[in-house]
A and B are shown apart, each in its own frame.
Chain A
């Protein structure tokens, strides 16, 4: 790896980080570690178990009666003190931070409890009674567009909240003239780079000043501060937002904490005390932001040699139940580079944003990248295969040619610098591509399944704050006024002893910003590394910041570090002038090094840095004219290249564009479908490298998350809208065992547009790696449709042939339910030692129902065929109390009856229909039953693996109780033993 070094050589070196000593000794200060006022109360949130339902009533009286509970707050209470959230598109829709009247996704906040402790607050949650009227759900983004789809927001009149079409060049002509048209259709799943630390907020309200003070592990962009202040109906200067010194990772995700900043602020106001909320893991998985899932059809017009002359995108973006700021940014972040690393001048794009009964989406590492590179690079792979061309050759022929930089893409991005072809060739050579081909050959000869995948990508960084306005029509934009730029800010302060402090608004979550900034500034001022201290906490009430502040779009190295360098330049210039007057030389002759300022031609003629630096404090009158002072220098920097969208929708969506080319070799175990990444090579051109250790760390970290996205991770939903990935045993992040070590290569093309020549590097592998792995699987299996995540079961479907049937024709048919479906069905029979009439009477008798319904505490007869009961249901240690409604219908005395029931409780809800038939068998009765039941809510989210079996045990309990009540039961043993004895076989 080649590294440019500045004179004193700190920049570019892999210095030990200044952050680490505290973090390694348990002295980090994360949000949950911060001291709070003694009267701080704790917030817990009641969340919807339903994906779509009306809220008919909320009864909090029992919760409020609990000792230590200060307040129970509903959506209407919050609404009375706030304003609906600003939505990024023009649409007739309200967007509240918690549910009012209706819930639209599992996990949507329904009520807030403020109590003495979190434990107590959760006790209170259990006591709140909510009456829901369940509504039909729509989970699939394509289905959401159908006319008959249930509507999430009736005021919108449709589930499509935004639609725009774009054309650049002449795509129609290119397609009509093309020799080949090749297309892919991709459904990209939902996942999230979920950090190990969850969200946290501490909020206070000062009624005297009508001002909020909120500390949250928010990561930016601080444009969201405006959204929060507007929602809370206070001017920005009465909404003080602070971040803790340390944050346990974010990867975009902690942008979404802003909703809870609003809720906690209101809770503090209503309860009259500071309020603290730490999100738990279940809440995080089901209700924090994730990346969008997207359905894409991408078609290419292709020449016989594989050259692509036009692309046509049709994207359906699923943003979940509400379009929350800054969405639909995921869809538009890549708008300038929808042609990837390729020179394709004709481009058509149709973008639709739909709302479904899923959690609202937001920032996530790779933001919008995986969703476009997956189709694009699958398409390049398919083009080669369909035309019988070499896959490398197809990529090579389409890459933006060497010498074409800066290169303007069809949709308006200005690819700042690079030599994609050279980096591509270097990757093949230095990464050992030919050896890999040889390895594949040998593996295949040995009967193994082995594939090679490729992926090329452009990694954008430093977002143009105006790109999101591309979602508006040119007329709407003209009316709203132009939005553009990306203000970065850095402040350098010098204290009376001449010590240097740097302050930035970059809000790091582990990226080592303090170390890099110390390197940059120490280099510039000729100071030892330790002499510069850096502060990265942000306080909107005190610090310099702007809407682009924060840690996202890989903007730190390119924009923030560069701005710190500009601030250091300015201070240096003035210090040089002061020193020059003291040393009696020209300022141009002054040099900084080793903590001293001296005459380049006569280093002995020198003065200490601190002395010169402190003089603005102690002797301002002695400074040369026109210098002002050197006490504090704040620089705001925004790149001129980031212009607002043009009238024809051209948009330079990002300032910098790194280049990535990846290839990998993957072996599949033919017996189990398990995937082993044999080799992974990733080439990055991220401009100038400021700290090689951190660059490698960013690449490895993103790579590991991408391996997760490719093979393990999905926020899975059932067809009924249940959220199924509620624990870390269901949402599977790779461990050290599943994460191979990639070979990392670099090709450095400094960006001409950033002060230090650096570009972003933090997100690239999240964009390139999932598709690179998918392409390798396609190569290994010969399959053309590859869907993520590639679990061994999915791979098995690709490699195992027809399943061997059972030799026993009686064997049960394979269960029809699809993975994730929560519909349970079953049938069986029990023989009861009683006549049909006796059994029939029992079924209709409320008194016996009490005995029959497992765990019933009291059956109330509403009508002859309608009963209500409190029941305790459970398996093993899992127990919950439910309200049950039971109805009898389709009665054919004494032969058959349909029993339908629904239950609702803290663990979730269930509903089922069972048809019971009674057949006479020598004075005894054979009770046949067949049921269909659905289960959702918390139990579905956290008990996924165990749920089906557990539910069957519970349902079995009913029939077992029925049999026992009729005198057919045998004592002792567990439920199923008894059931089995009764049924004479397995149900």
Chain B
């Protein structure tokens, strides 16, 4: 029975943005810190460390989750995606990202990666999302700059675009 001792660093291995990664971490290290400071993926931001602001939202096994409420020791074997994985290739933006730029869905950009990860997870499974559902998903995020209207507009624009793409592909 693997009981991992306090104050020692233990090996955690998981998939990060499609690649297998390994790190040494104390049990108590938060996944947000592990990603940012051990693995250098600083796109995930930290705003409260108690689950409310949403800045640290990432995807774990496909679902949006707070990285600040996950311990390093819990992530072994999981599939984690962060904002760094969204762009299809360097220098290009995903449909969702492009919609945020187009609609001025961000100002300081601190809340943005978390919001993108929630919306990306949601729109992937539900390309027919309604505005009410989008708002419901966004309610788990605080943005202090935009007043949200442009974020909602960006999400709706992305839905529109994704739907178009889907039709073209069909």
Contact surface of A with B, Cβ cutoff 8 Å: 14, 16-17, 19-21, 23-28, 30, 32-33, 119, 193-198, 246-249, 251, 280-281, 509-512, 693-694, 696-697, 699-705, 727-729, 733, 735-737, 739, 741
Contact (Cβ within 8 A) B147 A249: no
CA distance A509 to B111 in the complex (A): 13
Residues of B within 8 A of A26 (CB): 41-44, 82-84, 86, 113
Instruction: Knowing A196-B55, A729-B50, say if A701 contacts B145 (CB, 8 Å).
Output: yes
Least CB separation from A246: chain B residue: B109
> In the complex where A700-B146, A728-B52 touch, is A511 in contact with B110 (Cβ < 8 A)?
no
Q: Determine whether B24 belongs to the interface, using a CB cutoff of 8 Å to chain A.
A: no
| Residues on the B chain within 8 Å of A247, using CB | 108
- Asked whether any CB of chain A lies closer than 8 Å to the CB of B14, the reply is no
A196 to B54, CA, bound (A): 10
Tell me, rounded to whole Å, the shortest Cβ–Cβ distance linking A163 to chain B. 35
Smallest CB gap from B151: residue in A: A736
B152 touches A736 (CB 8 A): yes
Chain A: CB-nearest residue to B100:
A24
What CA separation (Å) do A281 and B110 show in the bound complex? 14
Nearest Cβ on chain A to B32's Cβ, whole angstroms: 10
Q: Do B110 and A736 touch across chains, with their CB atoms under 8 A apart?
A: no
Q: Can you list 17 A-B pairs with a CB-CB distance of less than 8 A?
A: A16-B102, A24-B112, A26-B83, A30-B42, A30-B45, A32-B46, A33-B36, A195-B144, A196-B110, A249-B110, A249-B145, A510-B108, A697-B107, A704-B147, A705-B144, A735-B139, A736-B152
* Residue B23 lies at the interface, judged by CB distance under 8 Å to chain A: no
A509-B107 Cα distance, complex, nearest whole Å? 8
CB of B97 closer than 8 Å to a CB of A: yes
Chain B: interface residue total (CB-CB under 8 A):
53
Shortest Cβ distance from residue B106 to the other chain A in the assembled complex, whole angstroms = 6
Separation of A28 and B113 alpha carbons in the complex (Å): 10
Q: Select one of B52, B55, B93 contacting A25, CB under 8 A.
A: B93
Task: Select from chain B the residue with minimum beta-carbon distance to A249.
Answer: B108
Q: How far is the CA of A511 from the CA of B113 in the complex (A)?
A: 18
Of the residues A281, A693, A736, contact of B148 by C-beta under 8 Å = A736
* Contacts A23-B109, A701-B144 given; does A694 touch B104 at CB 8 Å: yes
Task: Specify which chain A residues have a CB less than 8 angstroms from the CB of B112 in the assembled complex.
Answer: 23-24
CA–CA, A248 and B100, complex, Å: 17
* Known contacts A19-B109, A20-B101, A196-B55; is-contact A25 B144 (Cβ 8 Å): no
Q: Are B144 and A737 neighbours in the complex by a CB distance under 8 Å? A: no
Cβ-defined contact, B145 with A510, below 8 A: yes
Q: Which of A33, A193, A195 contacts B108 (CB 8 A)?
A: A195
Contact, CB under 8 Å: A24 / B97: yes
Closest to B30 in A: A119
Are A735 and B150 interface neighbours, CB within 8 A?
Answer: no
Given contacts A16-B102, A26-B83, contact A281 B107 (CB under 8 A): no
Question: Is the Cβ of B146 less than 8 Å from the Cβ of A697?
Answer: yes
Measured CB to CB, the closest approach of chain A to B56, in angstroms, equals 11
> Least Cβ distance of B111 to chain A in Å?
5
Which of B82, B107, B149 gathers most chain A CB within 10 Å?
B107
Q: Are A25 and B109 in contact (CB under 8 A)?
A: no
Q: Lowest 8 A-B CB distances belong to which pairs? A: A26-B43, A510-B108, A248-B110, A23-B109, A700-B147, A510-B107, A704-B147, A728-B52
Partner of B47, one of A16, A193, A197, A697: A197
Q: Which of A17, A195, A281, A699 interacts with B101 by CB under 8 Å?
A: A17
Given contacts A24-B109, A28-B109, A733-B142, 13 further A-B contacts (CB under 8 A): A16-B101, A30-B45, A32-B42, A32-B46, A195-B108, A196-B110, A249-B108, A281-B49, A697-B150, A701-B145, A701-B146, A727-B48, A737-B135
Please tell me if the beta carbons of B108 and A735 are within 8 angstroms of each other in the complex. no
Residues of A within 8 A of B135 (CB): 736-737
Residues of B within 8 A of A119 (CB): 26, 28-29
Q: A30-B110, A280-B49 are in contact. Are A25 and B86 (CB under 8 A)?
A: yes
Per the bound structure, the CA–CA distance linking A193 and B144 in Å amounts to 8
Residues of A within 8 A of B87 (CB): 24-25
- State how many angstroms separate the Cβ of B104 from the closest Cβ of chain A: 5
Residues 71-111 of chain B: 1 if any A CB is under 8 Å from the residue's CB, otherwise 0?
00000000000111011000001000100111010111111
Q: B55: which A residues are within 8 A, CB to CB? A: 196
CA distance A119 to B30 in the complex (A): 10
- Whole-angstrom CA separation of A700 from B55 in the bound complex: 20
Q: How far is the CA of A700 from the CA of B146 in the complex (A)?
A: 6
